[in-house]
Amino acid sequence: MKQISSKTKISIVIITIIIVAGIAMMFIKGINKSIPYSDHTRLEITLNNLEKQKVEEIAKETLGENIIVQTFGDFEDKIAISMNKLEEDKKTQFQDKLNELNEGENVDITETEVGKTKLKDMMTPYVLPIAIITVLFALYKGLKYRKDGFIKMFLTPIVDVVVAEAVYISLYAILRIPVGIYFMPLFASVGIITLIANSICKSNSSEKQEKKEKND
């Protein structure tokens, strides 16, 4: 039976610590989500004669820097401002400044409370494709290297991907990185890169084994 090297043991310990710490952090504090994916307030304004840049400047001046400003509508004639928490006095200041910008006329602001997006809902569209690709790759690897043991060759890439994704999510939880639009594309990339690395490592290992057998 092949012995586990000291480097591999250290790697296993580090990975285990990261995953356990990540799980603990998720239970204690949960996942840190960026504004669009957390409970937030959304203000919608029809621009009409107002300039988007000036409205955005007023928003940052009165509501704070930690906001997200987006234009929407068929003609990009509406603006949405999202923030984690809206204080009434800041909203009043914002309204007053907008009215001044609109030459004293009242600017209608629609306020909406938006609920958070569940992590499960964010991940669902990505998990199935990654799982299918991983299983197909595992079947291919198991058949190609069946002389090394089909079950072992089949399970190795699956375990590698699961561990890599667990470490990825755990690092987000531990470092309190806000989960945003890049979270799931990076999640998918981690899975693909892990499969590529697994394939390269096995290919190099097989080449070394073949050379060793020839020399013997």
Q: What is the pLDDT of residues 175-210, one digit of tens each?
A: 999 999 899 999 999 999 999 999 898 887 777 776
Mean pLDDT of the chain: 89
Q: Lowest-pLDDT range, 76-80, 134-138, 193-197?
A: 76-80
- Pick 148 or 171 by higher pLDDT: 171
Distance CA 156, CA 138 (A): 8
pLDDT confidence bin for 74, thresholds 50/70/90: confident
pLDDT above 90: residue 120: no
The reported pLDDT for the residue numbered 215 is: 64
Distance CA 135, CA 158 (A): 7
CB 90 within 8 A of CB 107: no
The reported pLDDT for the residue numbered 43 is: 93
For 40-114, CATH number?
Answer: 3.30.70.260
* Closest listed residue to residue 154, CA positions, set 143, 166, 162: 143
pTM of the model: 0.81
The reported pLDDT for the residue numbered 47 is: 85
| Cβ contacts of 154 within 8 Å, gap of 6 or more | 138, 139, 141, 142
* Closest listed residue to residue 56, CA positions, set 91, 115, 98: 98
- Residue-range domain boundaries for the chain: 6-31+118-215, 40-114
* Closest listed residue to residue 188, CA positions, set 130, 119, 122, 128: 130
Could you read off the pLDDT of 1-58 as tens digits, one per residue? 456 778 888 999 999 999 999 999 999 998 999 998 999 999 999 888 888 889 999 9
